[in-house]
Each structure stands twice: as C-alpha cells, then as structure tokens.
Homo-oligomer: A and B are copies of this chain.
C-alpha cells in the first residue's frame, strides 16, 4: 500500500494535529489547504507558481472533468497529472457535491444519480462504481467516495435516509476500487444532526478508508451550527487517519477547525475572491476596487512575502481590476493563495510549538 498517513504530534492544549500524508507523488504536510483546480487548472496560475506559493496538493473535480474534456481523453493524454503539468498529489472530489448542486437537473436512486450536464444538457449517469472508475482513470492520488450531499435546511428523516444511502455507496466504492496506488476517503454525512453524524462515523469507519471527510457542511448552515458539528464529531474519527473538512472555508474557519482536529481543507474562496477583487490580508479584507486605493503606493499586505506584494502597489492592482485586465486576476490569485498557504505554515508551526490556542487568539484579534 503506497498511501500512508503519519500523525507526528498533537498540540498540548487543543485537538490540533501535525501530520504527513505520504503518496507516491510526494509528501503533504498537514494541516493542509488544497487550492482548487476544478477543471484541471488552479484558475489563472501556471502549476509551477502554485507549487512556489507553497501548495503540496491540489483538488480537482471528477464531475467537471468527466463532462469536459472527459476522463478518457485525459487518460489518452497521459492522465490528469501529465495533462495539467502538476506532478504532485491531487485529490479528486467524487462529484457528489456538484451533482447535488444541480438541483432539479438530477434524480437520485439507490443505483446512482441520473443528471443533466450543466454545459449542454446531455444526460449522464454516475454510480459509486462509475465514480471510482472515473477517478482511477484520471489517476488522482486521493479519491473520494461518491456521496449524497444534503442541503441545509433538511429534516431529520430525509437526512437519515440520505446518510444511509451514502453509507451503502461508500461500501460499493470500496469494493469497486482496483488501484492500490490511490488512497480512498470515506465521507461522513448526517447534516446538522449529531446523532446521525455519530452513527455515520461508526458505519463509515467500520467499512475502513484511508482518510475520513466531513461532507455536507458549508452548504448554508449557520457557522455556529457547523462548528458544533465539527467540534463534536472530529474527535470520534480514528486518530491514525487524516480528517478532511470539505469545502471550508475562510481563514477564521480553518483556524477554528484545525483546533477541533481537522487536517485537510479545500475551498474556492482564495481563488474566486481573487477574481472578484476581494483580497485577504494580515490586517483584514481589502476590496481592491475601492477608490481609496487609487493612488495607494503601498503593497497589498506589507506582511506578505508573495510576488504581488513584493512588486506591485495597491494603486496598480486597483487599476488592473478597473481595467478588467487578466494580470489583475493573476496577481490577486497569487496573493490570496499565498495568504492561505502562509496561514497553514503558521498553523503547523504553532502546533509544532505546542501553542496553538495562543496563536489562534493572536490571529483572531488581528482579523
């Protein structure tokens, strides 16, 4: 088995953990944030830049790649890593979340999901077995089980039925797996109901996976509700496997949830916000189109070590944004991704030094 997780240490005063995921394509230091490369590209960045910013693993998307260009085309072009010129680990989301996002365009049965493409309306069917086959064809390093992601709010009964479906599908995913070079993560659903989540943990860990994800969060529920679930459920997951909180979140969310024992995160926020001119800095958010930055000669974030902050003024970034220049998106993305990567480096450092709670307090007081 080529996929491994090493728990290096736990923080003295919190549930925060320092670890390492070992894959044939390289190590991943946890807690980790995975930049999103939905369509086989982290938007607006060449992969060498993504690496240089500190990324050790990226996320890509089964649903999107299955529809366009098609996983078989990617296979013909040498697999996902060669296709996109990224030779480090890739985690592929299974498509459950994307299919759920389609709303009326999909129909769920025990067998799988029938859905219509968001691109051309064509009809498709994905089952747990097909989701694994696609991910094995893509050749990602960590695959995700195919699940049903429940929305918020949704009642207990539906959530329970849905979670049971996700559990049955998880078993089928594990049985369908052929390739031992790829890790496979189970996903715990159960909405905002702690008793369902607890049973989810038992059943999914009972099947046994290389890592465990909390899914169905960050779908509209209040932040406090999410945090309560994460705080209560994460410690129930096996210590010797990585724990992945899907689709979360803001820097504050990440800092909070690392403290509950989460090891892995992904979110479109740094890249998407960059394209919208919303920038994360060590002194809070900057909306770059604001007229006050017009002739602001200071860097975006004087505490940041990124290419953008070292070479450009806020005034220039504002100009690029107003003039709708692609370079603006590039420079903003570089900064936001670096901000997240730097945050993760500091998080790991704090855990290493056994002062995660103090770090968290200092950080929150600045934001």
**Residue positions of A touching B, CB distance < 8 A:** 39-41, 43-46, 68-69, 73, 76-78, 83-85, 294-295, 297, 307, 311-313, 315-316, 318-320, 322-323, 325-327, 329-331
CA distance A187 to B297 in the complex (A): 35
Contacts of A44 in B (CB 8 A): 326-327, 330
In angstroms, how far is the closest chain B Cβ from the Cβ of A68?
A: 6
| This protein's copies in its complex | 2
Nearest 7 CB-CB pairings of A with B: A44-B326, A41-B327, A69-B319, A76-B295, A77-B315, A39-B323, A85-B311
Nearest B residue to A44 by beta-carbon distance?
Answer: B326
Once the chains bind, are A323 and B46 in contact (CB under 8 Å)? Answer: no
Decide if A330 touches B46 in the complex (CB within 8 Å). yes
The CA of A83 and the CA of B294, in the complex, are separated in Å by: 12
Give the complex CA separation of A266 and B227 in angstroms: 57
11 A-B pairs, CB-CB below 8 angstroms? Answer: A44-B327, A45-B327, A46-B327, A69-B315, A73-B294, A78-B297, A83-B316, A83-B319, A84-B316, A85-B316, A326-B330
- Residues on B with C-beta less than 8 A from A83 are 313, 315-316, 319
Across the interface, name the chain B residue whose C-beta is closest to A83.
B316
Extra contacts, 14 of them, besides A43-B325, A77-B315 (Cβ < 8 A), are A41-B320, A41-B325, A44-B326, A44-B327, A68-B322, A69-B315, A69-B323, A76-B315, A77-B295, A77-B316, A78-B297, A78-B313, A84-B316, A326-B326
